[in-house]
Structure 1
Amino acid sequence: MTQPVLTATGISKRFGPVLALRDVAFHVERGEIHALLGINGAGKSTFIKILSGMIQKDTGSIRIAGQEVDLRSPKDSIRAGIATVQQHPELVHDMNGLDNIFLGRESRRPGLFGRVDRKAMQSRAEALLARFSVPLDLAREVGSMAAVEREAVAILQALADDDIKVLILDEPTSTLTDVEREDLFELMNQLRAQGISIIYITHQLEEVFAIADSFSVFRGGTCVARMSVADAKASDVSLATMMLGEAIGDIFPPKADPDSAGEVVLKVSGLASASKFSGISFQARKNEILGIFGLVGSGCEELAKAIFGVEALDRGEIEVNGKAVAPKTPRDALDAGIFLVPGDRRTEGLALDRPAVFNVPMANLRRAAGGGWALRGRSVRADSKSLTEQVALHPPSLSTPASGFSGGNQQKIVLAKGLYTQADVYIFVEPTIGVDIGARAKIYGLMRELSETAAVIVISSDCDEVFGVADRTIAMHKGRQVEPGSGVFNRDALLFAGIMGERKQ
């Protein structure tokens, strides 16, 4: 039997009173794609940070190709042969692909006097492209690239150092379309064929069976299972049950009774914004969830931002509770009772370096100040504690910076922030990107609860999500609304309308 390329034994890590990892045993074979699974808070992120050299383990050992390594910094991990592509790759968008790949490594000679050798950089880049057959124009600015191209640049950046044995990919498909995901899988297969092992973190469980050779499941800070995908298929294993430790039914809450829809809260008529969308009209009511499905480029996200006052409207009318409103800024929208849960929580939804107790009241400072000039610290803390408990934030810390939480728990902080506003209209854009199955069920349940007192709109490029959670659905295609033939789409008709821009006959 060949020796695993990476072996971890007895790995433990404590943060104050929280035991994040407990005696973890884990290994990866050479040239395999190994999925790392677990709900938010299971310990995956902490373990990956240890392998990446970002934090240090308290106990245990890590071996690469049988040799014990001491990973005290990201440089140590790279020298040992471990490279990591984070969920949100730190690329410089106004620099081209070539400069991003070799950022900080423009010269083979270290120190201040190393000369930037662009000819050598170009030669090394061409060798990388030839080795992995990646169709990239590295002269283009990264900001102009598609999401899958940026992911490829980040992977090449990670592999630019010699002798990388293990590549860690953290949620690489979270912002990709289905076509882009297949392109990424093709690149991953090339890496596997060349003997590079991949640790693949994903919450999209269907991807495990599509691309991985094996998987490990983390739960409660330890690795509770390791299995080959072939064995899992043969045994009809439920990955969700393994992750949660219990059987899970339908993650979507029951739909509302069609006859129970309440009064209209939000009404939009003839909304148009430059070349992004036009002719958008719909109503959102209490006691129901309205779903809007559209692929990237459909105009869905721009529509949400226009209603929230971020994007300018050329024409159209918006009413909240029968009153005309014309939000020019997010402040205007918040004052009108509209709250947006944005698609990019990191840059648009949170102050990442500030804790939950700062983020939660941020969109309703009037409530936080109680009508006065100063924030009511004790009241704000009590409200923040109650709301973070309601959304099941884990760990339940009000003082930890938002950046210290997993993606799913960051989303929960945004949800608590929205609940604090006590809005009349809640618009959720791509609400479960990077969120595990257990947290998704919690979020969908919160949406259903919110719909009892407010209008709830879910906008997503995931057709199954829109159809699963919504009571009524709309499709958008290339900036225009596709009307359902019967008033309500079935799942296949909704998908067809979003992809083809017309009703399914």
Structure 2
Amino acid sequence: MGAPVLIASDVCKRFGPVQALRNVDFRLEPGEVHALLGINGAGKSTFIKILSGALQKDSGTIRIGGEDVHFRAPEDAIRAGIATVQQHPELVPDMSGLDNIFLGRETASRSLMGRIDREALEARADALLARFAVPIDLSQEVGQMSAVEREAVAILQAIAVDGIRVLILDEPTSTLTDVEREDLFALMNQLRAQGIAIIYITHQLEEVFAIADSFSVFRGGACVARMSVDEARSSGVSLADLMLGEAVGDIFPKKADPDARGDVFLEVRDLSLTHGFENVSFTAHRGEILGLFGLVGSGCDELAKSIFGVDPPDQGEILIHGRPVSLRKPREALDAGIFLVPGDRRTEGLALSRHSLFNVPMANLRRAAGGRWGLKSRQLRSDIQRLTDQVALHPPHLNTPASGFSGGNQQKIVLAKGLYSEADIYIFVEPTVGVDIGARAKIYGLMRDLSERAAVIVVSSDCDEVHGVADRTIALHKGRHVEPESGVFSRDDLLMAGIMGKGSL
């Protein structure tokens, strides 16, 4: 492949008492698709933020094309040839794909009064599509595009800058169907053929063998393994074993005593939803955390939303405290005592432009009003301050818009909102995506505390998270409930159930 395009040596990063990265060594060859693997909190996101200029390393060196580089901002990384597509690309939905690609770079002039030459923009777009044959209509508004088309626009936006040699893709398939994923892989193969190196972050282990040339595994802030995919395939290496390694540590609270399990708060009987899931049954008890594991396309997200009334089931029955209920909208689910922490907090969990004093009481306005018209401002502020302290919101500013907080702290605002709802049943969907390891421990502890008075369900595509926090686990594979042959899922069995639909190895 020639000389490496990127070499990182002894990179370290600390956040207070937490050593996020420990002497990380990493290299990337031109035209290489390199998968970056690790459980949440392993250090992947910190390393990527350093490469993309969002964070600065404490020590170590980074070389691009043989030259030492020092990034103080994302613009520095882009000038050096590194572009990043985040898990949730910041695109403008009511603008066309073409306008999104060149947003902020419409002209060579830095003046706000610079004239925009539409023909020149279209010519630049045509040149991009000539290099990367993407079947996409760039005149269409992004908000009307499919998920894979939006991902393609974000990638084209990233590589539209001259001199991009490294492209970082952060979980690009997290919202894609199997067919859309293959379309994305086709685009990635074109990028690879053009010599662009790709760092590919994914939790979907089967994708590593489908698209990557090699992979690195991060664990506990260190890069513990680097291997070619061919080598791993021929030697039968288990990616799950490499990722999980030794015990994750004490970020997971102690599990509940099975004998202490209380009453059934939620029962689902033969629930089905067209194009979602089929004949799913389970019970959730007070005093336990029930884990529901499944990869993208498993039906887990659809099941959670169906129980919450977002997309009511086609058949089956939901019982709360032994009584059948018909939940046709989220407000009815809230009134019935169910609170959903959604997987996409930005679009489904928060009003980003509004502060905590607005967001937190939205799930229980009756409590906020105290049974009267109008809100009890003084009591409300006191309650919300107590809850944001409980979830360790940082900084603890109640009047700051949610958009002004990091992803992890946005999740804490959603959690405070859930606590304020005083629900009997809590459903957490992908609760720690984009959350640092310290915040993860806090969230898991809150779940355990909630389980003492409520039924708690954790829905996640992270096998280690489900196995680590849940007292009982079930799995979905392509919409079907998978049962363990032994009656109890081991960690590896659970992973295989999600990937292969099998109850055991």
Are positions 1:246 and 2:246 aligned together? yes
- Code of the aligned partner of 1:22: R
- Cα distance in 2 for partners of 1:442, 1:50 equals 25
1:345 and 2:312 matched: no
1:56, CA displacement in angstroms?
A: 2.3
Does structure 2 retain, via aligned residues, the 8 Å contact 1:264–1:286? yes
Alignment-mate amino acid for residue 239 of structure 2: L
Q: Which residue does the alignment assign to 1:393?
A: none
> Which amino acid counterpart does residue 122 of structure 2 have in structure 1?
Q
Amino acid at match of 2:154: A
- Structure 1 residue 370 displacement after superposition: 11
In structure 1, the partner of 2:93 is 93
In the alignment, residue 74 of structure 1 is paired with which amino acid? P
Q: CA deviation at 1:246?
A: 1.4
Q: CA deviation at 1:82?
A: 0.7
- 2:150 is paired with a residue whose SS is helix
Paired amino acid for 1:37: L
- Name the structure 2 match of 1:122: 122
Name the structure 2 match of 1:392. Answer: none
The match for 2:490 is none
Whole-angstrom CA distance in 2 between matches of 1:297 and 1:233: 25
Retained in 2: the 8 A contact 1:174–1:433?
A: no
Tell me: CA distance 1:213–1:426, structure 2 relative to 1, closer, same or farther (3 Å): same
Cα distance 1:76–1:449, how it changes in 2: closer, same or farther (>3 A)? closer
Deviation, structure 1 residue 115: 1.3
Matched-pair contact (CA < 8 Å) for 1:291–1:457: yes
Cα drift, residue 39 of structure 1: 2.2
**Structure 1's 271 and 95: CA in aligned 2 closer, same or farther, altered over 3 A?**
same
- Post-superposition offset of 1:368: 9.9
**Could you list the per-position Cα deviations for residues 105-138 of structure 1 after superposition, in whole angstroms to 9, with x for gaps in the alignment?**
1113332232111111111111111211111111
8 A contact 2:174–2:296 mirrored in 1? no
Distance 2:335 2:77 in 1: 49
Deviations 1:449-481 (A, max 9, x none): 98897667788999xx99x9866989979xxxx
Matched residues in 2 for 1:474 and 1:199: separation? 28
* 1:109 alignment partner in structure 2: 109
Equivalent residue for 1:41?
Answer: 41
Question: 1:16 deviation in Å?
Answer: 3.7
Alignment map for 1:33-72 (pairs within 5 Å):
33-72=33-72
Report Cα offsets for 1:362-410 as digits up to 9, x if no partner.
756888999987559999788777778xxxxxxx978598987677x97
Letter in 2 for 1:134: V
- Judging changes above 3 Å, is the alpha-carbon distance between structure 1 residues 335 and 445 closer, same or farther for their aligned structure 2 residues? same
TM-score, structure 2 normalization: 0.70
**Structural mapping, 1:259-338, within 5 Å:** 265=266, 286=285, 301=302, 305=305, 308=308, 320-321=320-321, 330=330, 333-338=333-338
Structure 1's 176 and 24: CA in aligned 2 closer, same or farther, altered over 3 A? same
Give 5+ residue unaligned stretches, structure 1. 249-253, 389-395, 483-490, 499-505
Q: What is residue 224 of structure 1 aligned with on the other side?
A: 224
Q: Secondary structure at the match of 2:138?
A: coil
Offset at residue 239 of structure 1 (A): 2.6
Letter in structure 1 aligned against 2:246: E
Query: Per the alignment, in what secondary structure is the counterpart of residue 189 of structure 1?
Result: helix
User: In terms of mean alpha carbon deviation, does 309-318 or 328-337 score higher?
Assistant: 309-318
Kindly provide the CA deviation profile for residues 66-88 of structure 1, in whole angstroms up to 9, marking residues without a partner as x: 12223222222111111110010
Counterpart of 2:215 in structure 1 is: 215
Deviation at 1:421, TM superposition (A): 4.8
CA drift of 1:96 comes to: 1.2
Match runs of 1:393-412 below 5 Å: none
1:133 aligned partner: 133
For the 8 Å contact 1:338–1:425, the answer to whether it is kept is: yes
With normalisation by structure 1, the TM-score equals 0.70
The CA deviation at 1:203 is: 1.4
CA shift in 2, pair 1:107/1:386, >3 Å: closer
Q: Bigger shift: 224-233 or 184-193?
A: 224-233
User: 8 Å contact 1:355–1:398 — kept in the other structure?
Assistant: no
8 A Cα contact 1:171 1:434, kept in partner: no
Give 3-state SS (helix, strand or coil) of 2:125's partner.
Answer: helix
Superposed CA deviations along residues 146-178 of structure 1, whole A, max 9, x for unmatched, are: 111111110001011112100000111111111
Counterpart AA for 1:24: V
- Other structure's SS at 1:152 match: helix
What is the correspondence of 1:351-500 to structure 2 with a 5 Å cutoff?
363=363, 374=378, 418=418, 421=421, 423-427=423-427
Task: Mark the CA change 1:102 to 1:130 in structure 2 (over 3 Å): closer, same or farther.
Answer: same
Structure 1 residues 61, 280: closer, same or farther in 2, change over 3 A? Answer: closer
Q: Which residue pairs with 1:152 in the alignment?
A: 152
Determine the structure 2 residue equivalent to 1:501. Answer: none
Matched, 1:23 2:52: no
Change in CA separation of 1:23 and 1:402 when aligned onto 2, cut-off 3 Å: farther
Asked if 2 retains the 8 angstrom alpha-carbon contact of 1:286 and 1:453, the reply is no
Q: Which moved more, 1:73-82 or 1:145-154?
A: 73-82
The alignment covers a number of residue pairs equal to 469
Code of the aligned partner of 1:137? D
CA-based RMSD of the aligned residues comes to 5.5
In 2, are the aligned partners of 1:350 and 1:402 still within 8 Å (CA)? no
Stretch deviating more after TM superposition (69-78 or 231-240): 231-240
* Contact 2:299 2:476 survives alignment (8 Å): no
Matched position secondary structure for 1:127: helix
Gaps of 5+ in 2: 249-254, 482-493
SS of structure 2 residue aligned to 1:137? coil
3-state SS of 2:105 partner: coil
8 Å Cα contact 2:271/2:313 also seen in 1: no
**8 A contact 2:337–2:423 mirrored in 1:** yes
Q: Using a 3 Å threshold, how does the CA distance of structure 1 residues 201 and 313 change in structure 2: closer, same or farther?
A: closer
Q: CA deviation at 1:293?
A: 9.2
Quick one: which amino acid aligns to residue 234 of structure 1?
S
Report the secondary structure of 1:105's partner residue: coil
